[in-house]
Structure 1
Amino acid sequence: MNRYEESYHLYDEGMVRFENGDYPSSLNCFLKSCELNEHFKTYSRIGECLTKLGKQNESVTYMKKAFELNPNNDKVSLQYSEALIMSGNIIRAREILIRLIDRNSSYKPAKIVLDKISRLNK
């Protein structure tokens, strides 16, 4: 098995463990997968695991990397915005959400989050 196949296998294993609520094992699989082959989805999943484990500050780093690798992915943009909000960076989160809505005006989850932070700032 080459490194890409092994990375994909580890990612799949991580997804099964994530869906079963085994976030520590899932995180381990995703980290190993990422060592073999960096991918925005894997960084995003690492961030999700860290959030589930209560490590929001660490999560931001991985969500940022996912966003940097694929800034036009709606889900990743939303996740990174949410991580920024949790870390207190509302201004940057708002910028990303506005850009996301500009390119995909029908993406309701982004509208909901933007509305929430707009109400908080009133």
Structure 2
Amino acid sequence: MMPRPQQNRRHTSTMEDLLTLSSRIPWWINLILIVVSYVALHLWHTELAYQVHLYAQPTPPPKLANPMDGVNVAVHTALSRAPVYMGAIFTEIFQYLFPAIFFLGGTVSLIRSLGTKNAR
């Protein structure tokens, strides 16, 4: 069995890849992406926050013959609501992070484009 050759490429995170990509596209596209990403994630977060608010409303416990059946109901309820809570956390963070990344990439792109115009 032959050993695999070592790769010199370092592994980058998704955020680094997104920043690299946004610095290579024109700055005005980054401006559009800033607005679109913020508005889309903010609207999505608003909807998820409303669903979380609805989940927080008290509901009467179900009448069960066996009290241990309540454990199954609680576990299934928690598992069915987990994607909504995780989505709310995700959109709360990334509605600000994605526009910041696009802003940094757009700034780099603008500086590069001004540098090439001045070099001519």
The two structures have a TM-score, normalised by structure 1, of: 0.26
* More helix as a share of residues: 1
Rg larger for: 2
- Ranked by relative contact order (alpha carbons within 8 Å, sequence separation 6 or more), the top structure is 2
